Amino acid sequence: MGKAMVAEATARQAASFVLGAAAALTVVMLVQYRAPAAGLSRARTQGQFSGWRSLDHRRLNGTAGLTDHQAQVVVAGEGHHAHHANTTLKANSTRTRASHLPIADHKEEGVQEEEFRGLAAAVARAATDDRTVIITCVNQAWAAPGSFLDLFLESFRVGDGTARLLPHVLVVAMDPAAHARCQAVHRHCYHYTMPGVHINFTSAKFFGSKEWLELVWSKVKLQRRILELGYGFLFTDVDILWFRDPFKHVTAYADMTVSSDVYFGDPDRLGNFPNTGFFHVKPNARTIAMTKLLHDSRGRYPGANEQPVFNMIKKQLVAKLGLRLRYLDPAHVGGFCSYGKDLGKIVTMHANCCVGLRNKMRDLRSVLDDWKNYTRLPHWEKHRAKWTVPGACIK
């Protein structure tokens, strides 16, 4: 009997030890485990973007990245529940960026909510499932029928595999006329109004004018806000034609991948001359700080737009912030400053190094015609195709 009691006591002690160990292990695992923020981009290898996979029903409704309840609120926000939708989106974006993005103080948040009212919902509708959005900006002159916006959108439709990117393009309109025109021709449009700024953005702005400078610098504030919302973006000027998918040339390593006006053959060479009319940025603390420092540097270079200012401070951005900067080869991502002759490699063409809307439009139309002719050639003749534009910009 004594042996039986000892054996029973021993068994009970062993069972208690096992149960206690299991409970302790469970607690440790719960403490150490931190669930990833909802909707954050997954790690990507070079050239891989998950945003182009088949889209679920919430993506079709423009609410991917949100919970089902939040998606319903966003849809309701299209009507008389807009206030609740904005509140939910703000809470969602705050949770998303909590672990890796700096949070502005409450005063700054309030100012931004007023200036960028509705932006979070607009970006959510256009973004890919890895929270990336393509953005461009237009005013009335650039969005008018037969102008840059029409050529820009047409290039997506006739490009090689670019039509599937169109649902992820967000056109930012700087005035009501541009917004109305955008809504007539495109799915995702956002009217950007700047409280306290009284400038007429509807007409063509001459290069270097006060109005033009306000137009280009306002883009930097918009880009920063998109990053703060937890989204990456590829910004493209509207005077750029898209012929192939540029995401294949964006590396996972770089915080910022930017096109080049002058390129010395090395994508990591800091001395390349950037063109900020076309660049990709990932959302993190470095890139948010970069956009803030860039905008704050405007006063040090009066009369300059964001591109030369970025070129002047890029070494500071790399040294001070640890920004990982990489350049795109003009053989692929080209422009009138420097472009690839091989139509089999070209990805985009930018009407840079050219002044005047008429000059830009004439040469871009010729470039688009060259591309269309190239696509009609049999495959054994395509290698002979070249740009034929003599043009007002391309000589």
The answer to the question of residue 34 being in a domain is no
Rounded to whole angstroms, the Cα distance separating 246 from 51 reads 13
The answer to the question of residue 86 being in a domain is no
**SS3 state of residue 194:** coil
The answer to the question of residue 314 being in a domain is yes
Q: Confidence class of residue 87 from pLDDT cuts 50, 70 and 90?
A: very low
Average pLDDT of every residue of the chain: 77
Cβ neighbours of residue 150 under 8 Å, at least 6 residues apart? 185
pLDDT of residue 213: 77
pTM: predicted TM-score of the whole model, two decimal places: 0.72
Answer whether residue 21 shows pLDDT above 90. Answer: no
Answer whether residue 70 shows pLDDT above 60. Answer: no
The answer to the question of residue 323 being in a domain is yes
Q: What is the pLDDT of residues 261-318, one digit of tens each?
A: 999 999 999 999 999 999 999 999 999 999 999 999 988 998 888 999 999 999 999 9
Closest CA to 238 of 325, 140, 309, 132: 140
Q: What is the pLDDT of residues 112-122, one digit of tens each?
A: 667 899 999 99
- Whether the Cβ atoms of residue 121 and residue 77 lie closer than 8 Å to each other: yes
Rounded to whole angstroms, the Cα distance separating 251 from 43 reads 11
Cβ neighbours of residue 191 under 8 Å, at least 6 residues apart? 118, 173, 176, 179
User: Helix, strand, coil proportions of the chain in percent (round to 5)?
Assistant: 50, 10, 40
Closest CA to 172 of 157, 188, 159: 188
Closest CA to 382 of 390, 374, 391, 373: 374
Which of 57-66, 226-235, 297-306, 381-390 is predicted least confidently?
57-66
For residue 343, the domain's CATH number is: 3.90.550.10
Q: What is the pLDDT of residues 237-255, one digit of tens each?
A: 999 999 999 999 998 899 9
The answer to the question of residue 331 being in a domain is yes
DSSP 82: H
Answer whether residue 102 shows pLDDT above 70. Answer: no
Written as six digits, the tokens of 394 are: 């391309």
Percent of the chain with pLDDT over 70: 66
- Highest mean predicted confidence (pLDDT) among 42-56, 64-78, 132-146, 214-228: 132-146
- 176 or 33, higher pLDDT: 176
The answer to the question of residue 95 being in a domain is no
Chain centroid, CA 259 distance in Å: 14
**SS3 state of residue 139:** coil
- 197 or 365, higher pLDDT: 365
Number of domains in the chain: 1
pLDDT of residue 44: 36
The answer to the question of residue 110 being in a domain is yes
Average pLDDT over residues 231-240: 97
Rounded to whole angstroms, the Cα distance separating 329 from 351 reads 16
Domain span at residue 326? 104-384
Q: What is the pLDDT of residues 348-377, one digit of tens each?
A: 999 998 888 899 999 999 999 999 999 999
- 55 or 17, higher pLDDT: 17
Average pLDDT over residues 3-28: 44
Instruction: Kindly state the greatest CA–CA separation across the chain.
Output: 108
- Whether the Cβ atoms of residue 90 and residue 83 lie closer than 8 Å to each other: no
- 290 or 20, higher pLDDT: 290
Amino acid in the structure at residue 309: V
The answer to the question of residue 5 being in a domain is no
Sign of CA dihedral 175, 178, 180, 183: negative
Written as six digits, the tokens of 228 are: 């703060």
Rounded to whole angstroms, the Cα distance separating 195 from 111 reads 9
**SS3 state of residue 234:** strand
Q: Confidence class of residue 128 from pLDDT cuts 50, 70 and 90?
A: very high
Average pLDDT over residues 148-156: 98
Amino acid in the structure at residue 106: H
Written as six digits, the tokens of 88 are: 């939910």
Written as six digits, the tokens of 196 are: 């306290």
